[in-house]
């Protein structure tokens, strides 16, 4: 039976299919976005432990975006927030070149020129202009691979 949740200014919601419990709404609430994501993650982890099943890639993406965009806001860095959103788009569209034998991501396809690719090494170092100007971990190509790995359940 549904129960009333305490009032909170921030919430994160998702409809998740668990084995034997399809279309379950889970909600994390908190005084901040990060607190709401933390509560959401706790509930989702508990539901996975109880009902099993793989993690939902969109729930993982949602959680990552709330945390990363919160960080960009705290840093007062709107350009970083934009790179995060572009990286999420790349990850969702699966715009990667993969090693044919192992399936690992070896390059990110350019959003502006689909014939161009950016190599990102195993240490998440990218050769693009943004990576050269910024912290290499903040370019959209590197971020997109980090996001995709999280969506695939990797650390």
What is the phi/psi pair of residue 79, to 5°? Answer: -65, -40
Structure confidence at residue 108 (pLDDT): 92
pLDDT for the residue numbered 126 = 87
Q: Is residue 5 part of a domain?
A: yes
Write the pLDDT tens digit of every residue in 112-152: 898 999 988 878 888 888 888 877 677 899 999 999 988 88
Asked if residue 145 is part of any domain, the answer here is yes
Average pLDDT estimate for 100-111: 84
For residues 41 and 88, state if they share a domain. no
pLDDT tens-digit readout, 17-76: 777 787 888 888 888 878 888 888 888 888 888 887 666 788 888 888 988 898 889 999
Distance separating alpha carbons of residues 103 and 92, to the nearest angstrom: 17
81 and 155 share a domain? yes
Domain count along the chain: 2
Give the domain range for residue 29. Answer: 1-54
My answer on whether 50 and 84 are in the same domain is: no
SS (H, E, C) 90-118: HHHHCCEEECCCCCCEEEEECCCCCCCEE
The pLDDT of residue 1 is above 80: no
| Residue 96, in any domain of the structure | yes
Q: Cα angle at 92 between 89 and 97, to 5 degrees?
A: 95
Determine, yes or no, domain membership for 106. Answer: yes
Q: Is residue 84 part of a domain?
A: yes
Asked, for residue 70, whether it belongs to a domain, the answer is no
Residue 46 lies in a domain: yes
Residue whose structure tokens are 């934009």: 82
**Does residue 81 share a domain with residue 150?**
yes
Residues 83 and 155 reside in one and the same domain: yes
Residues 120-145 as b or e (16 or more Cβ within 10 Å = b): beeebebebebbeebebebbbbbbbb
Same domain, 103 and 147: yes
Whether 13 is in a domain gets the answer yes
Mean predicted confidence (pLDDT) in 66-88:
91
Written as six digits, the tokens of 116 are: 């161009």
């Amino acid at each position: 039976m549904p129960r009333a949740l305490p009032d909170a200014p921030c919430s994160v919601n998702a409809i998740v299919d668990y084995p034997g419990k399809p279309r379950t709404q889970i909600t994390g609430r908190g005084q901040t976005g990060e607190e709401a994501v933390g509560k959401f993650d706790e509930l989702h982890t508990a539901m996975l432990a109880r009902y099993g099943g793989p993690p939902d890639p969109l729930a993982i993406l949602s959680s990552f975006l709330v945390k990363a965009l919160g960080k960009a806001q705290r840093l007062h860095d709107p350009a970083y927030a934009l790179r995060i959103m572009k990286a999420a788009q790349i990850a969702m569209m699966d715009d990667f070149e993969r090693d044919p034998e192992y399936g690992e991501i070896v390059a990110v396809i350019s959003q502006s020129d689909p014939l161009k690719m950016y190599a990102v090494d195993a240490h998440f170092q990218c050769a693009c202009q943004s990576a050269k100007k910024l912290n290499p971990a903040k370019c959209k190509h590197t971020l997109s691979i980090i996001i995709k790995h999280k969506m695939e359940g990797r650390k």
